[in-house]
Amino acid sequence: MSFSRITRSGVATFCKFSAAASVAAAGGWQLWTMHCYFEPFGPESDPLFQSKYFKQHNPGNHPSLNDSCVRKVPLSQIPPELVDDALNGGSKLLDRFCAGVWGGYGTNVTDHFVVIGKTPRSVVLWGAHSPSENPGVPRDMENLAEITTDIDLDHGVAEFRLKNILYNGVERTSKDLFPPPIVWLHFQYCKLLVEAGVSHCKA
């Protein structure tokens, strides 16, 4: 999706977003996603903006639409083996979360992302139209995304996050990245993905 117009690939992608959101709305998505929320997310609060991935894919630091969708779940609702594995440096909780994110509503957009980094608690992805083709060529719609899981023993919760940095990789522009209805759909779709991932992690 460009920022002066919507490309065909952008239309196709966000039509899928819209379709998923519409299906979810029919099934009471507001109730299902009521525990998801968006936290402050930007260069001053998250190291993703200072990462090698950001510098590689957005070297010009073009203006971006940034969001971080969060879901916290009591540890009592997470299988103990997943919690223990995470506390010992394993990736089973992250793997389970990712399987839920991409195995449901996320199936529609898996072809638009490639994994560019992974740790036991984080997967970093680069999103664009046909990202595996000419990966070094900037696109007019790009997305640097990160999926994370963390265990907070002090508060007794597991934290699940989906972060997005959406930007025009071709040119710097002061125009809005997307029209407001598309931004709204994007936020709803993020909540759906996070909740779908969390549902795979509960006991």
What is the pTM for the complete model shown? 0.85
Can you tell me the distance from the alpha carbon of 101 to that of 113, in angstroms, rounded to the nearest whole number?
13
68 half-sphere exposure, CB direction, 13 A CA radius? 18
Residue 2 covered by a domain: no
Residue 3 covered by a domain: no
Q: What is the DSSP string of 96-139?
A: HHHHHHHHTGGGGGGGGEEEEEEETTEEEEEE-SSTTSSTTS--
pLDDT in tens, 132-149: 788 778 999 999 999 999
pLDDT score recorded for residue 11: 42
Work out the pLDDT band at 130, boundaries 50, 70, 90: confident
* Mean pLDDT, rounded, for 85-107: 90
Residue 1 covered by a domain: no
Can you tell me the distance from the alpha carbon of 1 to that of 147, in angstroms, rounded to the nearest whole number?
22
What angle (nearest 5°) sits at the alpha carbon of residue 183, between those of residues 26 and 41? 115
pLDDT score recorded for residue 110: 64
Residue 126 covered by a domain: yes
pLDDT score recorded for residue 13: 52
CB 146, CB 161: distance < 8 Å = yes
Helix 92-103 and helix 180-199, axial crossing angle in degrees, nearest 10 = 130
pLDDT in tens, 24-68: 555 566 777 889 999 999 999 999 999 999 999 999 999 999 999
* Mean pLDDT, rounded, for 89-113: 84
3-state secondary structure of 142: strand
Q: What is the tally of structural domains in the chain?
A: 1
**CATH code for position 90:** 3.30.530
pLDDT score recorded for residue 7: 42
3-state secondary structure of 174: coil
pLDDT score recorded for residue 25: 54
pLDDT score recorded for residue 152: 98
